């Protein structure tokens, strides 16, 4: 009888947390502003309809509740995503369900936009479709990524 030990999932070498304030504040403000604009559009459309005051009141209240629920759901998902770390493994990195092999990295140059400057963060567009966002300025992840990239290249193409 051959008993095999259960396969342990690979443990990450490093977990890079996002700057939560940088990830959440702009997204929440955007959701609130868009929710207000959407609700004002609904109110404008309702004012153009000829509804009785009780029907108009019900429509306004229900539209406000629906917009509020949509904004709360958006904030919930933003909060959930902002607390997800970037996970660095031996030969790849992952974020939620996206995965990138170190051999696919085409760029490690940090970039900073207006909001990054305000929140003292930066981002690294590793490829056209995979960017590490909301990196605290105190963390030098660029050097670490280059080291992992070099290690992966050495293990794939060992020199005799």
DSSP code per residue over the chain: --PPPPPPPPPPSEEE---HHHHHHHHHHHHHHHHHHHHHHHHHHHHHS---HHHHHHHHHHHHHHHHHHHHHHHHHHHHHHTPPEEE-SSEEEETTEEEEGGG------B--HHHHHHTEEEEE-SSS-EEEEEETT--HHHHHHHHHHHHHHHHS---
Q: What mean pLDDT value characterizes the chain? A: 90
Mean pLDDT of 56-75: 93
Q: pLDDT per residue over 7-45, tens digit each?
A: 677 899 999 999 999 999 999 999 999 999 999 999 999
So where are the chain's domains? 20-81, 85-156
d(CA 153, CA 142): 17
Whole-structure pTM value: 0.80
Instruction: Tell me: pLDDT of 140 over 70.
Output: yes
Neighbours of 134 (CB within 10 A): 21
pLDDT of amino acid 132:
96
Mean pLDDT of 127-137: 95
Percent of the chain past pLDDT 70, that is, above it, reads 94
- Please answer whether residues 94 and 26 qualify as being in contact, where contact means their C-beta atoms are separated by less than 8 angstroms: no
d(CA 4, CA 130): 37
Nearest to 149 by CA among 89, 86, 85: 89
pLDDT of amino acid 50:
85
pLDDT of amino acid 157:
72
The confidence band for 159, taking pLDDT boundaries of 50, 70 and 90, is low
């Amino acid at each position: 009888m051959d008993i095999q030990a259960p396969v342990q999932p690979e443990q990450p070498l490093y977990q890079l947390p996002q700057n939560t304030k940088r990830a959440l504040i702009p997204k929440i403000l955007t959701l609130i502003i868009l929710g207000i604009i959407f609700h004002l559009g609904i109110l404008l459309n309702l004012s153009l309809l000829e509804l009785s005051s009780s029907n108009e009141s019900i429509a306004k209240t229900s539209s406000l509740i629906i917009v509020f629920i949509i904004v709360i759901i958006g904030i919930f998902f933003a909060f959930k995503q902002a607390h997800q770390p970037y996970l660095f493994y031996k030969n790849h990195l992952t974020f939620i369900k996206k995965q990138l092999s170190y051999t696919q990295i085409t760029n490690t140059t940090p970039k900073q936009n207006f909001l990054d400057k305000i929140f003292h963060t930066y981002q690294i567009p590793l490829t056209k479709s995979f960017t590490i966002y909301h990196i605290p300025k105190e963390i030098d992840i660029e050097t670490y990524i280059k080291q992992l990239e070099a290690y992966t290249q050495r293990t794939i193409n060992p020199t005799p």
